[in-house]
Structure 1
Amino acid sequence: MFSKACEYGIRSATYIASQSLQGRRVSLKEIAAAIDSPEAFTAKTLQILSKNNIVSSAKGAQGGFEIGRDRMDTIKLSQIVNAIDGKKIYAGCGLGLKECNADKPCPVHDKFVDIRNDLAQMLQRTSLFQMTEGLQTGLTHLKR
């Protein structure tokens, strides 16, 4: 459903947030290892997240990526998805057909519209802080 870049973006932001809660900035190398992603690909994803003010970065010996605790509740997963994948996830056909709409639906159109709407609501309601809660308790993980 999400592009690989978007998956890495969500995982990266969640990891950065969890480490920021512990007062730590994290390096690109550490993020890539923690979420099991290629460094170069992760770097491009983090650049997008930084440009969209989702993560903050600092250069130098004490540098790295972080997210302020006060922002974690306001950053929603929809912001990450929109920054990386745009809004196409909310409009595409469930079967990947070029022409699919209410007037000329594919076989799964009506059911997929409901799924897309549910997905949009979940992304708009889920904060980055909520994503870190399971990591803090060990109930969730970010590696494949």
Structure 2
Amino acid sequence: MSIFSKTCEYALRAVFYIASKTVDGSRVGIREIAKNVDSPEHFLGKILQDLSRKGIIDSAKGPNGGFFLTRQALKRPISDIVSAVDGDNIFTGCGMGLTYCSEINPCPLHHEFKKIRNRITKMLTGTTIGQFNKDLLLGKILLKKP
């Protein structure tokens, strides 16, 4: 089970992979990314095009083309990826999906879910895209089953 949509899961894994592989200024192609994050290539291509349009990642065409992240992009919070793909509902939405839920009209889960939602928000806004590079490169953390 995940708190993110499947699209967002693929986006997060792909961006982390791109970040870890392009720190040295190189670029990585869609086929390599899809293989290393266990994602369907065509679907991932659409996700990465959207992230590129939204300024989360960069891309270049041509024989030396591919996807990459700038040093500045590595400092962005991972909440930027989540917002770009899934919107901001994870940061503000009701745990039961009710549109009327608020401080004034709380649902049964409102007060407890708000605490969890706030912790998730803090983690996503306080963690940078490039923060995992070293552990990914050392194989301490994984983006797919070995």
The two structures have a TM-score, normalised by structure 2, of: 0.89
Alpha-carbon displacement from aligned partner over 1:54-100 (angstroms, at most 9, x marks no partner): 21111111111111234312x11011111111111112221233432
Q: Which runs of 4+ in 1 moved over 3 A?
A: none
Unaligned runs of 5+ in 1: none
What is the aligned-residue identity percentage? 45
**Aligned partners of 1:132, 1:4: CA distance in 2, in Å?**
22
The answer to whether the Cα contact below 8 Å between 2:78 and 2:128 also exists between their aligned partners in 1 is yes
Moved more, 88-97 or 8-17: 88-97
Q: Counterpart amino acid of 2:61?
A: K
* Count, aligned residues: 143
Deviation at 1:23, TM superposition (A): 4.1
The two structures have a TM-score, normalised by structure 1, of: 0.90
Deviation at 1:39, TM superposition (A): 1.1
Q: Trace 1:43-122 onto structure 2 (pairs within 5 A).
A: 43-73=45-75, 75-122=76-123
Unaligned runs of 5+ in 2: none
Deviation at 1:13, TM superposition (A): 0.6
**Aligned partners of 1:121, 1:64: CA distance in 2, in Å?**
32
The answer to whether the Cα contact below 8 Å between 1:17 and 1:72 also exists between their aligned partners in 2 is yes
The answer to whether the Cα contact below 8 Å between 2:10 and 2:39 also exists between their aligned partners in 1 is yes
Q: Counterpart amino acid of 2:113?
A: F
Q: What is the root-mean-square deviation in Å for CA atoms of aligned residues?
A: 1.6
The answer to whether the Cα contact below 8 Å between 2:30 and 2:41 also exists between their aligned partners in 1 is yes
